Structure 1
Amino acid sequence: MVHVRYFGYLGALLLALTAAFVVGFGLDALHGAVAVQIGLVALAGLCCVAGGFANPLRERVGALRLVGVGDVALGASMAVSALTVESALLARIVPVLGGVFIALIGVNYVTDGRFFEIGGVEV
C-alpha cells in the first residue's frame, strides 16, 4: 500500500532544503550545475507536494504520476551533482548510480507499476 501523503511531506522537505540553500548561500551561489541541481530539487519538491496532497492537478494527472516525475527530477539532480564535485572518480559515480535508480523508480510510478508492483494507493 502506497501512502501518497508521505510523498507530500517529502516534497515539503525538499522545498525547505532548497529555500535553506538559497537563504544560506544567496543567489550568487546559484551558477552553472549548482543552479540546475537546485532547480531540479525544487521541481522534485513541487511534484511530490502536488502528488501528496489533494488538489485539482492530482485529480487530473494522478498522484503516482506526479510523484514519479518528482522522483525522476530528484534522480537527475543527483546525477548533476557529479558535475559539481572535483574529487575522485568514485565520488562522481556513486551519486550518478543512486540518481539513476531513483529515476527508474520514478519511471515505474509514471508507468503505473509496469516494472515492479506498486500495490494499492491510499490517498
Structure 2
Amino acid sequence: NVFSVVIRMIALQFDEWFFDGMVMNTKFSTGGALQFQFDMTRNLFALFGQYARKPSLLFKRINDACTLLTLPLGSAMLLHETLESNPSEETVASTLKELGLTILNKTGVVEV
C-alpha cells in the first residue's frame, strides 16, 4: 500500500542521512558508540516499529554501523586485519555474514 511505500522511502532517507552525515563524519568513543546504538535502536527503530515488523531492516546501514561501532576492540582489530589482508570474496562474505552485517561491503566496513 502507499503508506508502506512512503514509510520505506522516509526510512531510507533517514538511513542514508544518519550513515553519511553522522557515522562517516564522526570519530566515536566507546561511550559515544554505545549511545548512538541506544539512540538508534531504542528511539528511531522503535518509532518506525509502529509501522514495520522489523524496523532494523528499514535501516540496514545504521544497523550495520551500530554492529561495527560496538564490536569489542579485539574483534574490531581482527576484522580490520582480515579485511586488509586481501582475502578472497567468499572469505569477506562469510566474515561479514558471521558478524550479521547485511548491506555494507568490505570498503564500507573498513571506512566505518
TM-score tier, shorter chain, comes to: 0.3 to 0.5
TM-score (norm 2): 0.35
Provide TM-score, normalisation by structure 1.
Answer: 0.33
